[in-house]
């Protein structure tokens, strides 16, 4: 199957919900947003052996690649519209692999009401690499930035922290027989992130700054602190942990510095704490107050007595150069 046959037979059906994709028969696509809205664009690349294991199921590789981008849109308060895909394929990715891979996109397109608008495919002797550019819409002037946190704000996070890092460890274990319910939960959290797209309608009204938790809770809190020119304090005892993570008895510092959680971390004025609690209940999403914004710089993790906990490294960071 050559490149054009692959596009026509496997990927073109994923564009059916997007008239501006022209069935993937043109050189470019048209993307429209509702009147009074702006286009929000984000991009993430995933490489086998770095962001996922080479033998992870193809459909879950696709879904993870898409969902990490949707997570970025969620943290900006944007409703997702669609995406474009660049795919560098090793020769071992045969038609069966590609069809399973595409089925993952199809499943998530249905769940999140989005479509494929285009992309590019190439062959590579190196590891499987895929890059997705996703776009969404937000009311003009209402994208939530990293840079607007203020001293006195409270710090909140959705969901639970550290599950994906523990899940990666379990997934790497050679024995995959008779996994416990807790291990299966953690592996699922690693393989299939949950982008918090339900935040889109209200995030701007409640948050002063936000980003998604991709590099680790402390690292991403540091991104907000640096962009806003403030300090952030995290209360260790308030960090939300799943039952499975508690059962694993992992070190808290490990949990707050491992990546791939894809929760949303945001700051908000204390006067809105009640509204955030009601919103959390309304959208059936756990939102936990985990700290505060202070004058200064950097991130400090505090124990129950207010003493600083040493964190050797903030989170995951790629080496470049």
Question: Above 90 in pLDDT, residue 319?
Answer: no
The confidence score (pLDDT) of residue 320 equals: 41
Say yes or no: domain 154-308 is CATH 3.40.50.300: no
Task: Give per-residue pLDDT as tens, 4-24.
Answer: 899 999 999 999 999 999 999
The confidence score (pLDDT) of residue 256 equals: 96
Span 300-314, average pLDDT: 90
Neighbours of 67 (CB within 10 A): 24
Task: Give per-residue pLDDT as tens, 97-112.
Answer: 999 999 999 999 999 9
DSSP-assigned letters across all residues of 238-263: GS---HHHHHHT--HHHHHH------
For the CA atoms of 84, 90, 93, 98, the dihedral, rounded to the nearest 10 degrees, stands at: 10
The structural domains of the chain, with segments of one domain joined by +, span 3-139, 154-308
Same fold, 3-139 and 154-308: no
The confidence score (pLDDT) of residue 178 equals: 55
**Under a CB-based contact definition with an 8 Å cutoff, are residues 309 and 236 in contact?**
yes
d(CA 209, CA 257): 20
Task: Give per-residue pLDDT as tens, 258-298.
Answer: 989 999 999 999 999 999 999 999 999 999 999 999 999 99
Question: Above 60 in pLDDT, residue 176?
Answer: no
The confidence score (pLDDT) of residue 173 equals: 81
pTM above 0.75, yes or no: yes
Domain 3-139 - what CATH class? alpha beta
């Amino acid at each position: 199957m050559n490149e054009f046959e692959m596009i026509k037979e496997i990927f073109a059906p994923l564009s059916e919900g997007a008239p501006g994709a022209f069935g993937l028969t043109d050189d470019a696509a048209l993307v429209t947003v509702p009147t009074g809205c702006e286009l929000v664009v984000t991009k993430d690349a995933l490489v086998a052996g770095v962001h996922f294991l080479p033998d992870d199921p193809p459909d879950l590789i696709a879904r993870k690649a898409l969902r990490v981008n949707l997570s970025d849109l969620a943290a900006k308060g944007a409703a997702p519209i669609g995406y474009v895909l660049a795919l560098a394929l090793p020769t071992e990715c045969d038609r069966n692999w590609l069809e399973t891979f595409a089925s993952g996109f199809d499943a998530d397109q249905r769940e999140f009401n989005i479509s494929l608008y285009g992309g590019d495919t190439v062959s590579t002797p190196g590891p499987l690499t895929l890059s997705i550019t996703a776009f969404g819409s937000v009311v003009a002037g209402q994208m939530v930035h990293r840079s607007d946190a203020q001293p006195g704000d409270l710090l909140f996070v959705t969901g639970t922290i550290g599950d994906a890092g523990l899940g990666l460890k379990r997934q790497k274990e050679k024995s995959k027989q008779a996994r416990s319910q807790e291990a299966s939960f953690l592996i699922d959290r690693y393989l299939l992130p949950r982008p918090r797209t339900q935040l889109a309608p209200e995030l701007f009204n409640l948050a002063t700054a936000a980003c998604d938790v991709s590099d680790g809770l402390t690292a991403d809190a540091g991104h907000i602190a640096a962009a806003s020119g403030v300090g952030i304090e995290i209360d260790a005892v308030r960090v939300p942990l799943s039952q499975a993570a508690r059962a694993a008895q992992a070190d808290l510092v490990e949990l707050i510095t491992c990546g791939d959680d894809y929760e949303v971390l945001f700051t908000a004025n204390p006067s809105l704490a009640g509204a955030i609690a009601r919103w959390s209940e309304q959208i059936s999403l756990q939102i936990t107050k985990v700290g505060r914004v202070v004058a200064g710089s950097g991130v400090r993790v505090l124990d129950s007595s207010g003493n600083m906990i040493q964190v050797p490294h903030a989170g995951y960071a790629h080496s470049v150069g």
